[in-house]
Structures are given as C-alpha cells and as structure tokens.
C-alpha cells in the first residue's frame, strides 16, 4: 500500500470502474450460434441473435458458470437472480432492448485486492448480452451522426458479457491501472475470458470525480472508449485535472458521459444527464428466475484455480522476494511461478531461480522448454561459487538457446573454471602493487578509486573473477592495511 496519498493540488480523486468482459463460451448467451471473434461478418447469427419476431432467448448454462467463477474469484456472494430488459433504440441492438440484470444480479458484494494489499470493493458482477458492432462509413470521427451509411455485424450480438461494477474505492490513476491489470489476470486465470482490451473482449468505463479532503463526493463523469490500461491512467488523470480546473475557476462539473479521445488525449462530452435514455427496465418475461443450486456454486468454487494473489504469496514465501515486487509480479503474470518452484524442488536456490526466470525467460511461455533440472544444476554451480553471476548468465543463455543443457559441460567448454581464493588473492595483490596511487586513494576513503582496481583485476583474470568476491577482498585488505 502506498503510504503517500495521491493528490492533484489539494484535490483527491474518487474513481470507480465498470468493466465489461466477454465470456469465453462456445455459444452465445441466449442462442446456439458460435461465440467467435474475427470471423466473416454476420456468419454467427440466428433468429434469436437477430431479434426476429417470435424468437425467444434460452440461457446458456456455461455462461452462468463462467460468471459465477468471476463472482467467486472476486469474493462475491452468488445469489438467486433475475433478468431485465433495458430498452433503447440503436441499429446494432436487434431487439431494441438488451437483456441484462438489474436489481437482482448474480454476484454481489465482493472485492479485489491490489498487489499492495488495498481492497477495491466490487458492488456486483452481472450477466448481460453484447450488442452488434456498427461501422459508420463517411462523415467524421466514425460516429453515426453525419455518416453516409453504416454497416452492422451481428456476430457479436448476444455474446455473453459480465459487467463488473467496482465501488469508487480507487484513489489514483495508478490504482486504476493496477485494478484492471489484476482483474485481467484473475479473469484469465479462472478461464472466464481472454480479457483482451485491444480486441474489445475487455472494456473499461471510468467514473471519475474529485473533491478536497474531507468534502462530500463531487459530481462524477463517466469516461468511455478507454482501450488500454495505459489510456485508462491518462484518461483518469486528464479528466481529474479538467474537473479541478472547472472547480478552481468557479464553475461546476456537469454530470455527463464523456468520450476519451486517444489522439488528442482529452475527454469530450458524449451526452449530458438530460439526454440520457430512460431505459424503462422491467423483468424479462421470456426468461425465468435463475437460482443456482448451492451444490453447483460449491462445485464451481472448489474447482477455482489458484488466483494470481495466492500465486504471488506462494512465490514470495518460497523465494523471499516481496509479493508486490517486480520479479514476483512479472513471473506470476507470465504463469512461470510453478516452474520456478519446480527448479527450487531440484535443490536450487529459489531466489536465484526467480531472478533467472524473470530475466532470461521472457519468451519462454508459461511452461518453459528448459528442463527444470538443467536450470537447477546451473544455479547450484553459481551459488556454490563455481560460476560468477556474469558467467552464470552466459551459461543460461546457452541453455535457453538450446532448450536445455548440461551447465557443467557448457561452463567447461567456455573455459569457465572456478578461480580459487588464493589465485584471486594473488591477482589482487598484484594490482595493488601495480596501482599504488589508486590503492592509496582508496585507503584514504575515496570509494571511486575502487572501480579502477576492480576493473584491472577483472581484466587480468579475463573476466573469471567474481566481482563480489573481488570487492570483498579489497574491503578486507583496506581494513587490515
């Protein structure tokens, strides 16, 4: 948890995120058409998807199960729920209403824990259907208004979505980025979604307001069209500064929906509260209430995989590295933590395993091709002093390039022989004698002088000397000098 509160001037930020994720189901939420991204337009359609007269929705059980996984992974309560119709006209909305959940959503009252430990509340995570995708041709800005004509692809219509409504517990752009990054990892971990912001399978709207410390909540604006984690931070910061400028100049923030424009880095009014649709929600009469049996909920819960937070804690405790430190974060995000633990189980030092995997395994994928035993053997040579850290990196590069290998043989082939302490000491003495000036300066407390001494020792040892051991020797010799 960051000790210092994020402030802009003397304002604090209050941010709540609404995240939509497309579920990785085989078929749509209410029909048997395939749920697939990127295919020829209008090839995954049927009477239900197109909202043809007389067609009726039938709820997809797999979608419910994935939605429950999300809810349970976010510490929500899964409850009996209902579906409502949200009525509004739009050309890519085939029925002119969206089937969503309103006052009784599937998942309620959970939280997401940021890597640093702060909990962000999750008010609800409910099921709903996606709309089709419009492409507006001609005119300006790809908007329907002023375009020459529009094309609609209904492949996306009816794709199952879960909308995760976060509480306004986020206090900085960085926390917002952490929230979305962590959420994405959880969604992928539980197999609910591929959660790709760039493909639109994960979409994020931000409700942003500002206030001076201790004041009541300010008027919020909803920011749409944020298409990456990076944009999210930028959009929130821009919007906060815009609101602060308004307040500071004596104006008021209007409640409205704003559109983030990636190219100019600003938010623009999309619609004000006054032009907001009246959605006329009412209970969807074509569906019956959904009440997942306790046994089903329990089974879904029991089958949940280990979540990123638990994986980080496990890796941190095995390696001694901090759970929210870069190495643990990166390795868990790549899914290589099991591998690190496997290397450690072959007798290698877990901390060194973490460092090597983090640095050398970026391209290796969640299940590296290098046998854990090979890496373990290399690390054991390193920690027992048979390889310097520089040499270890070179040996490892070789192992990685060949998808495995015997560290001893590679080290021998490279001429990396362990240098014994007496040989090293002889070299140190030789350099001290040859560079008496530098030695004198170093002894007088001029730390910079040590660099020249170390450099010379490395040079005459042809890089075989361990830098740390050299430094330690020089220090002990100065103390006894």
Partner 1 sequence: MAIPSTASSIAESVRRGERTATEILESYLANIERREKDIHAFNLVTTEQARAMAAKVDADVAAGRDPGALAGVPIALKDNMCTRGVPTTCSSRILEGWKPPYDATVVTRLAAAGAVFVGKTNLDEFAMGSSTENSAFGVTHNPHDTSRVAGGSSGGSAAAVAAEFAAASLGSDTGGSIRQPAALCGVVGVKPTYGTVSRYGLVAFASSLDQIGPFTTDVRDSALLLEVMSGHDPLDSTSIPQPPLSLMSSLDQDVKGLRIGRITDLPGGSDPEVEARVAEAFAALAAAGATIVDVELPSMKYGLTAYYLIAPAEASSNLARYDGVRYGLRVESSDTNSMYGATRAAGFGDEVKRRIMLGTYALSAGYYDAYYGKALKVRRLISDDFARAYQKADVIITPTSPIVAFPVGAKVDDPLSMYLCDVFTIPTNLAGHPAMSVPFGTGADGLPVGVQVLAPTLGEAAMFRVAAQLERSAPGGAR
Instruction: Indicate whether 26 belongs to the interface with partner 1 (CB under 8 A).
Output: no
Sheet arrangement for strand 107-113: 77-78, 107-113, 119-129, 160-166, 11-22, 202-212, 221-226, 256-261, 266-272
CB of 283 to partner 1, least distance (A): 8
Residue with smaller CB distance to partner 1, 97 or 179: 97
Residues 139-168 that bind partner 1 (CB under 8 A): 144-145, 150, 152
CB 34 → partner 1: shortest distance, Å?
18
* Closer to partner 1 by Cβ: residue 140 or 480: 140
Degrees to nearest 5, angle at CA 62 with 154 and 229: 65
| β 266-272/256-261 pair status | antiparallel
Give the dihedral of Cα atoms 291, 293, 298, 299; nearest 10 deg: -110
- Residues 7, 8, 59, 297: which binds partner 1 (CB under 8 A)? 59
Which span sits near partner 1 by CB under 8 A: 47-55, 65-73, 111-119, 405-413? Answer: 47-55
In angstroms and rounded to an integer, the radius of gyration of the C-alpha atoms of the chain is: 29
- As measured in angstroms, the least distance from the Cβ of 30 to partner 1 is 9
270 part of the interface to partner 1, by CB under 8 A: no
CB of 182 to partner 1, least distance (A): 36
Across 321-354, b (16+ Cβ under 10 Å) vs e yields bebbeebbbbbbbbbbbbbbbbbbebebbbbbbb
Report the site for partner 1 in 278-337 (rule: CB under 8 A): 278, 280-282, 285-288
Total residues contacting partner 1 by CB under 8 A comes to 31
- CB burial of 154-172 (b: ≥16 within 10 Å; e: otherwise) equals bbbbbbbbbbbbbbbbbbb
CB nearer partner 1, residue 59 or residue 304: 59
Cβ proximity to partner 1: between 29 and 453 the closer is 29
Give the nearer residue to partner 1 in terms of CB position, either 11 or 97.
97
In degrees, rounded to 5, the angle at the alpha carbon of residue 24 between the alpha carbons of residues 20 and 28 is: 85
Name the minimum Å distance from CB 99 to partner 1.
11
Q: Does 62 bind partner 1 (CB under 8 A)?
A: no
CB under 8 A, 24+ apart: contacts of 111-114: 111/74, 111/75, 112/74, 112/75, 112/166, 112/179, 112/182, 112/183, 112/186, 113/182, 113/309, 114/175, 114/178, 114/179, 114/182
List the x/- string, 80-99, binding to partner 1 by CB under 8 A.
-----x-x-x-x--xxxx--
Dihedral sign of CA atoms 322, 399, 464, 417 in order = positive
Q: Provide the minimum distance between the beta carbon of 346 and partner 1 in the complex, in angstroms, as a whole number.
A: 53
User: In the complex, what is the shortest distance from the CB of residue 53 to partner 1, in angstroms, rounded to a whole number?
Assistant: 4
Closer by beta carbon to partner 1, 88 or else 468? 88
Q: Rule CB under 8 A: say whether 56 interacts with partner 1.
A: yes
- Of 40 and 278, CB closest to partner 1: 278
> Which residues contact partner 1 by CB under 8 A?
47, 50-59, 85, 87, 89, 91, 94-97, 144-145, 150, 152, 278, 280-282, 285-288
């Amino acid at each position: 948890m960051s000790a210092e509160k994020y402030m802009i001037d003397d304002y604090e930020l209050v941010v709540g995120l609404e995240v939509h994720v497309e579920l990785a189901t085989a078929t749509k939420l209410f029909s048997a058409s395939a749920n697939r991204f990127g295919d020829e337009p209008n090839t995954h359609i049927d009477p239900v998807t197109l909202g043809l007269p007389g067609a009726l929705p039938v709820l997809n059980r797999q979608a419910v199960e994935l939605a429950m996984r999300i809810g349970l992974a976010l510490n929500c309560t899964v409850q009996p729920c209902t579906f409502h119709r949200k009525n509004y006209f739009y050309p890519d909305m085939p029925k002119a209403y969206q089937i969503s959940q309103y006052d009784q959503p599937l998942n309620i009252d959970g939280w997401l824990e940021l890597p640093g430990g702060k909990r962000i509340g999750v008010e609800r995570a409910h099921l709903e259907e996606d709309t089709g995708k419009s492409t507006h041709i001609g005119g300006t800005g790809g908007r329907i208004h002023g375009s020459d004509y529009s094309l609609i692809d209904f492949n996306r219509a009816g794709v199952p979505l879960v909308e995760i409504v976060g509480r306004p517990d986020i206090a900085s752009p960085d926390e917002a980025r952490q929230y979305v990054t962590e959420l994405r990892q959880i969604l992928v971990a539980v197999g609910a979604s591929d959660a790709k912001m760039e493909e639109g399978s994960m979409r994020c709207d931000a409700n942003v307001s500002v206030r001076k410390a201790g004041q009541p909540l300010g008027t919020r604006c909803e920011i749409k069209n944020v298409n990456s984690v990076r944009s999210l931070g930028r959009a929130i910061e821009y919007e906060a500064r815009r609101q602060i400028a308004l307040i500071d100049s004596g104006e008021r923030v209007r409640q409205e929906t704003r559109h983030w424009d990636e190219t100019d880095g600003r938010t623009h009014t999309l619609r004000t509260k006054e032009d907001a649709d009246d959605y006329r929600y009412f209970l969807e009469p074509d569906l019956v209430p959904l009440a997942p049996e306790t046994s089903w909920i329990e089974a879904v819960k029991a089958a949940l995989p280990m979540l990123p937070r638990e994986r980080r804690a496990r890796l941190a405790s095995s390696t001694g590295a901090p759970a929210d430190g870069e190495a643990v974060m990166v390795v868990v995000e790549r899914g290589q933590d099991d591998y690190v633990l496997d290397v450690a189980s072959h007798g290698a030092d877990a901390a060194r395993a973490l460092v090597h995997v983090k640095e050398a395994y970026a391209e290796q994928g969640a299940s590296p091709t290098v046998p854990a035993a090979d890496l373990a053997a290399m690390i054991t040579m390193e920690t027992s002093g048979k390889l310097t850290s520089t040499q270890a990196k070179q040996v490892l590069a070789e192992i990685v390039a060949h998808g495995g290998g015997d560290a001893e043989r590679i080290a021998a082939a490279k001429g990396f022989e362990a240098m014994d302490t007496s040989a090293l000491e002889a070299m140190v003495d030789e350099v001290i004698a040859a560079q008496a000036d530098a030695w004198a300066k170093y002894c007088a407390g001029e730390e910079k002088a040590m660099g020249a001494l170390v450099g010379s020792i490395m040079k005459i040892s042809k890089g075989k000397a361990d830098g740390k051991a050299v430094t330690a020797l020089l220090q002990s010799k100065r103390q006894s000098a």
